[in-house]
Amino acid sequence: MSTEEAPPSRRRVNWRSLLVEVVETAVMAAAIFFAVNLVSARFRIDGASMLDTFRAGEYIVVSRFSYWYADPQRGEIVVFVPPSSTPGSMLDGMLGRAGETDFIKRVIGVPGDTVQVRDGQMFVNGTPLVEPYLPEPMLDFGGRFWEVAADQLFVLGDNRNYSKDSRDPEVGLVSRAQIVGKVWAVYFPLDSWRRVVQFVYPELAPVP
């Protein structure tokens, strides 16, 4: 009884084929990884400016491509880079690291809007906003108002009394170029996983 071994050249071909498959799989996985991160980013919530909508330590997924084909709307929650910040790299977004001070806020005013705080109440174009997501009444800002110019947004934290946002001259109105994307979901901790519902203000006229 005799056994035959595969010729050495055949064994080499098999190993070469396996190596090719491994390389192809790795390249495909890398391509998918970078494609996903081209259209999305991940960030960790720090601070209390968006309570009770988000809590410190939660991780969020941000859609980069949402505003490639549409304009930000009132009530949507966005991540942006304030003027004084050093933007995070794409690698930071992949790993869930924000830039130096990337902010997360809610869009209140869009181009053409006049926004005012009066007696602790937000008004947009003279209409009072109904904001059930606020954890507590907002402090008064002496009737101040802001006119939102083209390609700008007026943004606020949901925890108004503890938020640095468009009311602060250091932040001011946010340009479209500063926007990273729209918040899509909370993915960690796992028991906090949820899709982020973007709020709509039915009391306001639709944006033309």
Strands (E), 45-151: 59-63, 77-80, 103-109, 114-118, 121-124, 127-128, 145-147
CA distance 126 to 118: 10
48 φ/ψ angles, rounded to the nearest 5 degrees: -120, 15
Please identify which of the residues 40, 63, 66, 105 carries the catalytic annotation: 105
CA distances from 39 to 29, 35, 67, 127, 190 (A): 16, 7, 11, 35, 22
Instruction: Judge whether 49 counts as a catalytic residue.
Output: yes
The CB density around residue 48, as the number of other CB atoms within 10 Å, is 17
Side-chain half-sphere exposure of 162, counting CA atoms within 13 A: 11
As given in the structure block, the two tokens for residue 56 are: 């410190």
Instruction: Judge whether 164 counts as a catalytic residue.
Output: no
Element housing 35 (H / E): helix 8-39
Helical ranges in 83-143 per DSSP H? 90-95
Please identify which of the residues 40, 49, 63, 66 carries the catalytic annotation: 49
**Catalytic residue list:** 49, 105
